[in-house]
Amino acid sequence: MNYYVEIKNKLIDNEITKRVKNYSINKSDLTTYYNVGKLLFEAGKHYGEGIIKEYSKRLTSELGKGYTFTSLTRIRKFYVLSLKLATLSQQLSYGHYVELLPIADINEIRYYIKITEQQNLSVRQLREKIKLQEYERLNEETISRIINNEETSIKEIIPNPVVIKNNNLKEKITEKVLQQLILEDISSFLHSLGTGFTFIENEYRIKIGDNYNYIDLLLFNIEYNCYVVVELKITELKKEHIGQIEVYMNYIDKNLRKINQNKTIGIILVRKDNKFILEYSSDPRIMCREYRLIC
């Protein structure tokens, strides 16, 4: 078999398809790169690794840019990955799969494929989730449920720790500074929490008796149809934090929650967890998560 001619023809056919059949571009890409990857894999076995570099030079000379040694190597890796997956999701583009190629754990890859399908993630959004190591911040049971399309609770989908970007490299962290860092990139923070979170207001004012109190962050989760109260603490979890957020949650349930909405949940973001205090908390709607500042 003349591997080079076969590879060249398939790449040319794919370029033609892209120009005249926009609706089938993604399917054509996946099919083409699978077939080309297979040919590159077989050619490498017959002629050695140097053949890919040779093919790269010839393709670039005859077809133009886009066929570097790196890109051809990536296509071959895509073929190898497809064998491990057995079937390719048509909801993911070739660009999505490229983001998954550096990952060694096949279960981690399956997880990111599943959430890309479920959340309709762009390539950029998928790249961000991988960068924030979302898979590593979830427990094995939750990951298994997601991969197998099983029902999950809102408490399960919130990773631990929650990642907060510190783009300004602020060293002195107070609760106000922590809130400011979150608000500076609220979209990234909401994605770090999980699926379906939307921002309502920070320093949300509530009146209890004659006194005003302020909820650090008030969110709503569309998927689980409930309000979410978030309190920010720069210390380890203390027992008084539980009482405070419980009051806020009950206030939201009584004054904001509609009859068709689920009960409010509470998230306490702390520097350090204290499992003993959580063990004796009687309210299952309250969860505690540590936060991690990243640049």
Q: Is 60 helix (H, G, I), strand (E, B) or coil?
A: helix
Instruction: Provide φ and ψ at 204, rounded to 5°.
Output: -70, 120
Percentage of the chain lying above the pLDDT 70 cut: 93
Under a CB-based contact definition with an 8 Å cutoff, are residues 218 and 255 in contact?
no
CATH value of 153-294 in 3.40.50.1000, 3.40.50.300, 3.10.20.520, 3.40.1350.10: 3.40.1350.10
Map tokens 């004796």 to a residue. Answer: 280
Amino acid at 195: T
| Percent of the chain with pLDDT strictly greater than 90 | 58
Q: Which of 17-26, 66-75, 144-153 has the lowest mean pLDDT?
A: 17-26
CATH 3.40.1350.10 positions along the chain are 153-294
Question: pLDDT for 207-266, tens place per residue?
Answer: 988 899 999 999 999 999 999 999 999 999 998 999 999 999 999 999 999 999 999 999
- pLDDT bucket at 20, cuts 50 / 70 / 90: low
**Mean pLDDT score of the chain:** 89
pLDDT in tens, 95-123: 999 999 999 999 999 999 999 998 889 99
pLDDT tens-place string over residues 43-101: 988 888 888 899 899 988 888 778 899 999 999 999 999 999 988 898 999 999 999 99
